[in-house]
Amino acid sequence: MKTVFKSILAAASISLVASTAQAANSLEDLLGEVKKNRVSEARINKKREAEFQSARADKQALLRKAQASLKAEKSRGDRLQKQFADNEVTLAEKEVELTQATGNLGEMFGVVRQASAEAYGQISTSIVSAEFPGRGAFLKRMSEEAKGLPNIKELEDLWFALQTEMTQSGQVSRFTTEVISLDGGSQQQEVVRIGTFNLVGEQGYLVYDDQAEMVQPLGRQPDSHLLASAQDMKAATSGITAFYADPSKGGILSLLKEKATMSERYHAGGVVGYVITVMLAIGLLIGLYKIITLTIVSGKIKSQVKNIDNPLATNPLGRILQVYKENKAADVETLELKLDEAILRELPKIDSGINMIKIFAAIAPLLGLLGTVLGMILTFQQITLFGTGDPKLMAGSISMALVTTAQGIIAALPLLLTHSIVSGRSKSIVHILDEQTAGIVATHAESEKA
């Protein structure tokens, strides 16, 4: 940098000399100008040197200041390190003193923490907490966060929490709390708590969700007789009331949500089950129709028996009597054939539909067997595809196999009973017709002999 500056200055001097030479009229003037410029250059160099010396002195001062600060920090670090070592020794001594001072109290601290942890696991999940919320926070703090010895108040709170749980476990209590409905809404309800077993509300059995700290109905209520006992318990105000309690504190009731309903079991039969149901419905309708019509016919025949001389065409016996009146002049054999022909004309109307009921009663179990075979085929197909690791994959096919068999048998039983009733009524009517016809033939034969 200095060299460049000198070069620039020399060039300026030369330029100045050249211009001065042009302006000067004599050598003396030129010499005077050169001397003047020399003196000016020396002054400039001296000024620059003074500035450099001043800056060098400032840098030395900064260096000495930094060295002094470093020395002070090293001294402070040594002092802190010594203080840390002294504190470690003091801490070890204090720990020894604390151990000696606590003595058996240290064992009590462990017992209290263990008891608090056990109580927290029991109380936080207890349905009593639905009536007395917030009991688990203190026990959780005692079992997890407490570092020192418990004081008298904390010991009393622990005893009070345990005593409350024991006392409430043997009581039936009523209280009002917020119940979350299955559709997401909520409302204040009066809830009956039966010890530490069950909660009962307007919807039936309730469960306590200890994670969300809320009360909600079961996803699916149990059978009607169990639900009726729960409603009786809620409505009772005194005395002894029969109640189905869940000793697992809601575990068994929660499993009922997985239990298939009658509707779900019915639909497990699939198409085969639907066909069996249609056959059962048609067979029962035919049977009901035949029972009604045969009962009406039987009543008309009984009325006609009481009035033989006035036959009516509205009943089978009346029509047969009309045939007798039309053929009174015929011989016995001819009359008998005419009456048999009249009876044969009446039989199709009387027996119509009865064989259909019998056929449905025979086909229903066979369809159930067909559903069983189809269900087993699907089961083996699923075993081939997915193996036997997850039984739930085969549950649907096995349900179909079993349900269709049951549906076939269930359909056959009432159909057989209906067929037996209808067939009995039909035979009784035919028996009356045969009896009356035989009587008419016998009376006609006696009249001919006479």
How does pLDDT run across 33-58, given as a tens digit for each residue?
766 766 677 777 777 777 777 777 77
Q: What separation in angstroms does the CA of 303 have from each of 141, 159, 294? A: 92, 89, 14
Calculate ∠ Cα 212-214-218, nearest 5°.
110
Residue linked to tokens 């699923």: 382
Both structure tokens of 432: 């009356």
What distance in Å separates the CA atoms of residue 45 and residue 48, rounded to the nearest whole number? 5
Q: What pLDDT was estimated at residue 16? A: 45
Q: What separation in angstroms does the CA of 205 have from each of 126, 184, 236, 253? A: 15, 17, 15, 8
> Which residue would you say has higher pLDDT here, 387 or 159?
159
Reported as a single tens digit per residue, the pLDDT across 249-286 is: 667 777 776 676 777 777 877 888 899 999 999 999 99
Reported as a single tens digit per residue, the pLDDT across 71-123 is: 888 888 888 998 998 899 899 888 887 776 666 666 667 777 777 777 777 77
Contact in structure between 281 and 364 (CB atoms under 8 Å): no
Q: What pTM was computed for the model?
A: 0.54
* Mean residue pLDDT across the chain: 78
Where helices occur in 149-212 by DSSP H, the ranges are 152-168
Closest CA to 320 of 185, 438, 422: 438
